[in-house]
Amino acid sequence: MSRISARGFAVASATAVTTVGAVMGVAQGSVAQPGDDAEATAGESTLLSDLPVGQQAQVQTASLTQQADVQAIAADTTAKKTAEESARKQAAKDAVAKQKAALAKAKAAQEAKDKAAEAAKTKATTEVASTSSAGSFPQQASYTVAEVQAIARQMVPSGQFQCFSNIVDHESTWNYQAVNPSSGAYGLVQAYPGSKMSSAGADWRTNPATQIKWGLNYMNDRYGSPCDAWDYWLANGSY
C-alpha cells in the first residue's frame, strides 16, 4: 500500500475543502492544519506530496472549486449592491421628473385660466362698448369709408380694432351696403342673411354703427374676440 492511509486522505481532503488557505499551504509543501473536526476524525496531518498523483489532483480541484465559489459569491454580492444603488438613483430621478411634470401642468393650467379670464374681460368690454356706442351716432343719408372707419374706431376697443378692420376690409372694403352677388351676404361684416343684424337694430341696412355693433357681438360670441376671428379668417379664408 502507499504511505497514506484512507484516513490520512480523508484528513487531507477535508482540509482542502474546508479552507482555501489550507489547501494552498499544502500545495506549497507546508503541513496542513486540519480543523477540530478533521483532527477528531483522523488524528493526524497529511502532506499533499504524500498523496498519490490522482488524489493530489482531486485535492487541487476541490481547492480551485472552492475559490471559484467564493469569487462567485463576492461577484453576486457586488452585482446586487450595484443594482440596488442604480434602482435608488432611478427612483430619485423619477421623483424629480414627476415633480417637474406636476409643476409644468399646474403652470399651464394657471396660464389657461388667466387667458380665459382675460378673454372674458375683453369680451365684456367690447360688448359694453358696442352696446353703449351704437346709438350715439346720428344717422346720415350716406357715409364715406372714412366716416364708417371713424365710427368703428370709437366702438371697437383699441386692442381689437386692427383685427376688426382687417376682416371688414377683406369682407366688404368698408362698404356698409355691400351685397355678395352669390350668397346675398350683406354689409360691413357680410352677415348672412343680412337680416341677422336686426338683433342690433332695425336700421341694419343703412346704419354702419348698427352693423359694427352686430359684427362685434358676433365675433365675440363665436370666436372670443375680433383678433381670434381674424386668426380663424387667416387659416380658412373666411369666418
Tens digits of per-residue pLDDT, 157-200? 999 999 999 999 999 999 999 999 999 999 999 999 999 999 99
Looking at residue 161, what is its pLDDT? 96
> Tell me, what's the pLDDT at 3?
45
Q: Which three cell numbers stand for residue 226?
A: 375680433
* Contact between residue 173 and residue 190 where contact means Cβ atoms under 8 Å apart: no
- Taking the whole predicted model, whether its pTM rises above 0.85 is answered as no
pLDDT value of residue 9? 43
Segments of the chain with pLDDT less than 70: 1-46, 48, 120-135
Those residues with Cβ within 8 angstroms of residue 167's Cβ, 6 or more apart along the chain or in another chain: 189, 215, 219, 226, 229, 230, 233, 239
Assess contact for 230 and 160: CB atoms under 8 A.
no
CB 26 within 8 A of CB 15: yes
Q: Are 155 and 220 in contact (CB under 8 A)?
A: no
Q: What is the pLDDT of residue 211?
A: 97
Q: What is residue 31's predicted lDDT score, i.e. its pLDDT?
A: 46
Tell me how far the alpha carbon of residue 157 is from its chain's centroid.
Answer: 38
Q: What is the pLDDT of residue 98?
A: 86
- Tell me, letter by letter, the H, E, C secondary structure of the chain: CCCCCHHHHHHHHHHHHHCHHHHHHHHCCCCCCCCHHHHHHHCCCCCHHHCCHHHHHHHHHHHHHHHHHHHHHHHHHHHHHHHHHHHHHHHHHHHHHHHHHHHHHHHHHHHHHHHHHHHHHHHHHHHHHHHHHHHHCCCCCCCCHHHHHHHHHHHCCHHHHHHHHHHHHHHHCCCCCCECCCCCCECCCCECCHHHHHHCCCCCCCCHHHHHHHHHHHHHHHHCCHHHHHHHHHHHCCC
Instruction: Yes or no: say if 201 and 207 are a contact pair by the CB < 8 Å rule.
Output: yes
pLDDT of residue 208: 97
Task: Give residue-wise pLDDT tens across range 10-24.
Answer: 444 444 444 444 444
User: What is the chain's length?
Assistant: 239
**What does the pLDDT read at residue 26?**
44
**pLDDT in the model for residue 236:** 95
